[in-house]
Amino acid sequence: MSENLPNNNPNEEVDLGILFNAIGNFFNKIFGFILNILQAIYSSIIYLIKAIIENFKLIFIVVLAALLLGFGLEKIQKPVFYSEMLVKPYFNSKYQLVSNIDYYNSLLESESYETLSTIFDVSEEDLKTIKKVEIDIGPETENQLIQEYDKYAKSIDSIRAQEVSFEDFVDNRDLYSSDIFSIRVESTKRDIFKKLSNGFKTTFSNEYSKKLMRVRDSTIAIKKAMYFKDLNKIDSLQKIYLKILNQESEKATLSVGVDGFLPITQERTPTKEYDLFQNELRIRDSIRVLDQLKVEENVYYDVLSNFSDIGLRSDTLSKRYSLVFPALAIVILFLMYITMKVIKYAKEYER
């Protein structure tokens, strides 16, 4: 019976032992690597704390001096105020708008206040207080972005549309992709912004936009003439149908009154009064849409929100010198400390 018992293969036991040892060594190396990283981070933190303790007085003096310098500079400089205007251009006048904003900034940089005074009808002294003029995409809701994405997806090939996700579409939009723009003006004078509103009217007017408006108006006039012509045809057909119905009504009355006999059944002439009525409603609705479009877009731009009478104070982080200077001082001290340690290590290397 002992001859029928299975024999254990020693080679299989050896292979399993090697496999388990390899797996154990692999996990030991991973744990050791993670442990070394944690130890390095811990050592770096302790080393940094030690450096701060050893140089506490120097760090305190430098940071305090930077804080006082930044605070003093904030008090010396004139405060900067800003105001924003939201506009909606029509007839592709947004291209002229962006170009003119760049032109105004170039005039400010070159101190061409006389030219700016002619454009905005504002005194040169007031224009000298303007720091910069910026333009950016106006506020947009997610629903508006989704509508723009759907419109874009329908305008391209369906296969290509599947490759462009909504996130990619939003990330790749540029300044000209928007229909609403925010114009921001910064100035050291708080009540100058309202005076600039009229000057921006010339920003939107250009020959190309005027041409687009003329083409739009001519197209509307042609379409309305065609619609009125169709209405005249419908009116003529309605009169014909009405005449036919009156004639058939008279024949029916006459047949009833002859010798008192029952009238002979008369086949009614088919007409399409209801279809004509529906077509008339559709045409009149199309005319109403054209009239509404011409009323709504009869200018080159609409001001959705004008400049405020009094500007708001611009407290951007880059102008908060009492915070920026101490942060820069700490960074400089840290870099100097690292540089000194590297130099010392290089001098003592292999000594």
What is 242-309 written as a DSSP string? HHHHHHHHHHHHHHHTSTTPPPPP-PPPP--HHHHHHHHHHHHHHHHHHHHHHHHTSSSEEEEEPPPS
- pLDDT band of residue 51 (cuts 50, 70, 90) is confident
- pLDDT band of residue 1 (cuts 50, 70, 90) is very low
| Cβ contacts of 137-146, under 8 Å, gap ≥ 24 | 137/173, 137/175, 137/177, 137/178, 137/180, 137/181, 137/182, 138/86, 138/87, 138/88, 138/178, 138/180, 138/181, 138/182, 138/304, 139/86, 139/180, 139/182, 140/178, 140/180, 145/169, 145/170
- Contact at 8 Å (CB) between 303 and 85? yes
pLDDT given for residue 177 in this prediction: 81
Please state which of the ranges 55-59, 68-72, 154-158, 188-192 shows the lowest mean pLDDT.
Answer: 154-158
Q: What is the pLDDT of residues 280-305, one digit of tens each?
A: 888 888 888 888 887 777 777 788 88
Residues 313, 175, single domain; the answer is yes
- pLDDT band of residue 13 (cuts 50, 70, 90) is low
Q: Which residues of 105-144 are buried (b: 16+ CB within 10 A; e: fewer)?
A: bebbeeeebeebbebbebeeebbeebbebebeebeeeeee
Domains in the chain, number:
2
Residues 311, 176, single domain; the answer is yes
Q: Tell me the β-bridge partners of 312.
A: 82
Please state which of the ranges 19-33, 37-51, 299-313 shows the lowest mean pLDDT.
Answer: 19-33
Nearest Cα to Cα of residue 202 among 82, 100, 114: 100
Distance CA 87, CA 94 (A): 10
> Domain for residue 329, yes or no?
no
- Contact at 8 Å (CB) between 52 and 266? no
Domain containing residue 155: 79-205+305-319
- Interval 246-265 mean pLDDT: 55
- pLDDT band of residue 15 (cuts 50, 70, 90) is low
Q: Indicate if the pLDDT at residue 130 is higher than 80.
A: yes
- Interval 198-223 mean pLDDT: 79
> Domain for residue 311, yes or no?
yes
Q: What is the pLDDT of residues 256-276, one digit of tens each?
A: 444 444 454 445 545 566 777
Residues 164, 312, single domain; the answer is yes
> Domain for residue 25, yes or no?
no
Please state which of the ranges 123-127, 151-155, 233-237, 263-267 shows the lowest mean pLDDT.
Answer: 263-267
Residues 88, 184, single domain; the answer is yes
> Domain for residue 159, yes or no?
yes
Residues 115, 85, single domain; the answer is yes
Choice between 72 and 183, residue whose per-residue pLDDT is larger: 183
> Domain for residue 169, yes or no?
yes
> Domain for residue 325, yes or no?
no
pLDDT given for residue 75 in this prediction: 77
- Contact at 8 Å (CB) between 53 and 169? no
Residues 128, 238, single domain; the answer is no
> Domain for residue 15, yes or no?
no
Residues 97, 198, single domain; the answer is yes
pLDDT given for residue 257 in this prediction: 47
Neighbours of 99 (CB within 10 A): 12
Residues 291, 182, single domain; the answer is no
Please state which of the ranges 20-24, 34-38, 58-62, 258-262 shows the lowest mean pLDDT.
Answer: 258-262
Q: What is the pLDDT of residues 63-107, one digit of tens each?
A: 888 888 888 887 777 788 889 999 888 888 888 888 888 888 998
Residues 229, 197, single domain; the answer is no
Choice between 53 and 207, residue whose per-residue pLDDT is larger: 53
pLDDT given for residue 248 in this prediction: 67
Neighbours of 70 (CB within 10 A): 20
pLDDT given for residue 11 in this prediction: 56
Residues 198, 145, single domain; the answer is yes
Residues 201, 214, single domain; the answer is no
Average pLDDT, whole number, for the chain? 79
SS3 131: strand
pLDDT given for residue 317 in this prediction: 62
Residues 235, 174, single domain; the answer is no
For residue 122, give both structure tokens.
Answer: 């504002």
Q: Indicate if the pLDDT at residue 320 is higher than 80.
A: no
Please state which of the ranges 21-35, 196-210, 255-269, 304-318 shows the lowest mean pLDDT.
Answer: 255-269
> Domain for residue 66, yes or no?
no
